[in-house]
Structure 1
Amino acid sequence: MNSRQLFLQHLAQTTDFPLLIEIEKAEGIYMFGPNGQKYIDLISGIGVSNVGHRHPEVVKAAKDQMDKYMHLMVYGEYVQSPQSLLAKALTDTLPKKLDNVYLVNSGSEAIEGAMKLAKRHTGRPNIISCVDAYHGSSHGALSVGGNEIFKRNYRPLLPGISHIVYGGFADLEKIDKDTAAVFIETIQGEAGIKVARKEYFQALRRKCNETGTLLVCDEIQCGFGRTGKFWAFEHFDIIPDIVCCAKGMGGGMPIGAFIAPKEIMHTFANNPILGHITTFGGHPVSCAASLATIKVLQDEKLIEGVENKANLFKELLVHPSIKSIRNKGLMMAVEFESFEVLKPIIDTAIENGVITDWFLFCDDAMRIAPPLIITEDQIREACKKILDAIAIHSQPK
């Protein structure tokens, strides 16, 4: 059987209509199929390949680490320099109080760990998150998710979870002294790139301070330079108590983390000891790749170029079928009238060699989140292919 047949027969399917795009190689902003097809990746594997596919510095770091050692022991027991160096590099990008890193394998795991940490540290039972939030697909992460379509068939979920409207000032009154933490995507991703006002985040920070509630910023999609700053919360002049990250963190390797002040994180060390455990969290190869990713973002000044590149997308993507473009940096949603209008445009764009898609909770908007290394010429090429696809499907029937 060929690869497609093996895929359909032996790999668990998450829809009845997978894209079935077969990729043999990826490099930079491009992916290549077995018959010479060439695709511009405008979604970075959903916010993962911020420094592009197979960046040579990331590949070298991973290979060098593989020549030394791979898995040794469960997280937190042995001194492993890839973990320690990465933790230092991460905390160097953050406000001084966020000085302690717990390394995991994914964004969902980061959320799970942060939920446990918040409850353990505060001794409180309740967690608040936002309507239309997406924090991951594991049971706890799904519980704090904010869209019922994805939750209803898995109930009962965790108790003590309630939701507020992202950006809604009135709902902040729901935060009280029984609230362990508020989990919030700094920029809402799967809701279709929603960006709250700076005043909202500052009011949220004040309310958390007043009630002794931990503020947890989910930077899994929006971190690592995606919005034009290393961390999206930097746009709003706030400092969270816990930061969760993953996706763009590993340069294509699986890794995540939740980061907090040491005095908060240390609650995992006693009563009980080993309060949070992971076998593969902080895998040395992933840590080496992540450290290289941070260095690439900084050395190549990729974050500094984000805003101009985003503006070029907005300048070029003009068509009567496009209702609006929402963005924070290169985290973009191009809005159309409906999913029925958008879906054939996406399909044709893929045929034309541009990979894009829509959002879980916003199916009338096209997702654009390219590798930050994308050049202006490549943006122009991608936008032309998208506009060509729009033109085909906007012609009178």
Structure 2
Amino acid sequence: MKSDFLKYQTQTTAHPLAMEVSHANGSYIYDTNNKAYLDFVAGVSATPLGHNHPKVIGAIKEQLDKYLHVMVYGEYIQKPAVELAKLLAKNLPSTLENTYLVNSGTEAIEGALKLAKRATGRSELISAHNAYHGNTMGSMSVMGYEERKQAFRPLLPDIRFITFNNEEDLNLITSKTAGVLLETIQGGAGFIQPENGYLEKVKKRCVEVGALLILDEIQPGIGRTGKLFGFENYNCVPDILVMGKGLGGGMPIGAFTASSKLMSLLQQNPKLGHITTFGGHPVIAAAALATLKEITESNLMPLALEKEQLFRKLLVHPLIKEIRGIGLMLALMMPSETITNEVILKCQDEGLILFWLLFEPKAVRITPPLTISNDEIIKGCGIIIDILNTIDGE
């Protein structure tokens, strides 16, 4: 299987981890030798309820017996999609009431950028250095990391970049700006949180100049920070909210949400201002609805903060220079990229899945399912400490 994987399936790096997966359940993934791997990554924050959660699987199976794709997005009334959008509105501020369902986070970013341009009649978009918002051409245009996008230029024009948490850069947001796009917590850059009311100040500046604030919650959203969405921790409500990853409970989904007034602009001048064939797919919407219900109706969100403290208590070692993040969105900062690589690869050998961040080579990602147990946290952290004890930090 590995040779076929390498021959027939396009790779994104020269050295994929290449674990051959047999099945997955709860906090564990199993390879074809039936070796169990404790999952501290959750598909890069995409499986908040762990693997094969019974409520998600049940919702999928129930919908399978009714209908699959029947019509392009927005024409027919399909109960799973309607109920999902309604439940999102119920759990969001009143100005975030209308949701467009798409297939991925990057597609949701594309829709949000188009909406900001359509609403303001302006072309300039502002993002942050070291930002990551997806990998399609528009999303790549607002990626604040030139090395990853220089081979694909020309990209969208009229893009400017500011430094996250730098208040002086807010003066770059002007009456020419259509939208300011920020990750609520910078993910690829190293799980960097806003400081000193930064997001509030960005929103204030956007209001002053008539620009729209777009917050990317693709990683922090769906309960990972102890709130349903990360912005709830920072006293800032965006004009457009973007989500993805964890919303699907392991199924592919994205969405962007705004006021009904804003979203109605996609209906006219031009008509069909944003189109998707499979967005709001009934099976995926059913899985997302089950996921969202479980997270909002259970105690998983407050428990995420308690589990964070357990991680911080257990992960104390001279080679761990800092633990960044909040809730179950954590990054261990190592002394060097070499040590980061050694930790991740050796932990996989010992049955613990860790992963990298996009732009911060010293970081080790810890984003487990919200359903992970304290015993599983203790077990995994024990493996990390044992591995660190074998590494020469000089």
Alpha carbons 1:198, 1:237 under 8 Å: kept = no
TM-score (norm 2): 0.99
Alpha carbons 2:96, 2:257 under 8 Å: kept = yes
Structure 1 residues 97 and 9, CA gap change in structure 2 (3 angstroms): same
5 Å matches for 1:66-85? 66-85=64-83
Paired residue secondary structure (1:167)? coil
Aligned to 1:30: 28
5 Å matches for 1:195-210? 195-210=193-208
Aligned to 1:48: 46
Aligned to 1:362: 360
Aligned to 2:382: 384
- Distance in 2 (CA, whole Å) between partners of 1:198 and 1:79 is 44
Pair 1:373-2:371 in alignment = yes
Aligned to 1:277: 275
- Distance in 1 (CA, whole Å) between partners of 2:215 and 2:230 is 9
Query: CA offset at residue 198 of structure 1?
Result: 4.6
Amino acid at match of 1:24: S
Pair 1:265-2:263 in alignment = yes
Query: CA offset at residue 298 of structure 1?
Result: 2.2
Amino acid at match of 1:6: D
Paired residue secondary structure (1:359)? coil
Paired residue secondary structure (1:394)? coil
- Distance in 2 (CA, whole Å) between partners of 1:118 and 1:83 is 24
Q: How big is each residue's C-alpha offset from its partner over 1:169-202, in whole Å with a ceiling of 9 and x where there is no partner?
A: 0000000011000000000001110001151111
Q: How big is each residue's C-alpha offset from its partner over 1:20-75, in whole Å with a ceiling of 9 and x where there is no partner?
A: 11111011110001111100110110010111111000000011001000000100
- Distance in 2 (CA, whole Å) between partners of 1:300 and 1:30 is 21
- Distance in 1 (CA, whole Å) between partners of 2:331 and 2:99 is 31
- Distance in 1 (CA, whole Å) between partners of 2:14 and 2:236 is 43
Q: How large is the Cα RMSD of the aligned pairs?
A: 0.9
Pair 1:107-2:105 in alignment = yes
Q: 2:345 aligns with which of 335, 344, 347?
A: 347
- Distance in 2 (CA, whole Å) between partners of 1:238 and 1:346 is 35
Alpha carbons 2:228, 2:296 under 8 Å: kept = no
5 Å matches for 1:1-397? 3-394=1-392
Amino acid at match of 1:252: G
Segments of 5+ residues of structure 2 without an aligned counterpart are none
Alpha carbons 2:323, 2:331 under 8 Å: kept = yes
TM-score (norm 1): 0.98
- Distance in 2 (CA, whole Å) between partners of 1:329 and 1:57 is 23
- Distance in 1 (CA, whole Å) between partners of 2:196 and 2:253 is 30
- Distance in 1 (CA, whole Å) between partners of 2:56 and 2:72 is 24
Alpha carbons 1:268, 1:275 under 8 Å: kept = yes
- Distance in 2 (CA, whole Å) between partners of 1:209 and 1:265 is 18
Paired residue secondary structure (1:24)? strand
Query: CA offset at residue 272 of structure 1?
Result: 1.3
Query: CA offset at residue 301 of structure 1?
Result: 1.4
- Distance in 2 (CA, whole Å) between partners of 1:269 and 1:298 is 31
- Distance in 2 (CA, whole Å) between partners of 1:199 and 1:32 is 43
Query: CA offset at residue 395 of structure 1?
Result: 7.7
Q: Percent identity?
A: 47
Amino acid at match of 2:104: S
Query: CA offset at residue 300 of structure 1?
Result: 2.5
Alpha carbons 1:198, 1:236 under 8 Å: kept = no
Segments of 5+ residues of structure 1 without an aligned counterpart are none
Paired residue secondary structure (2:317)? coil
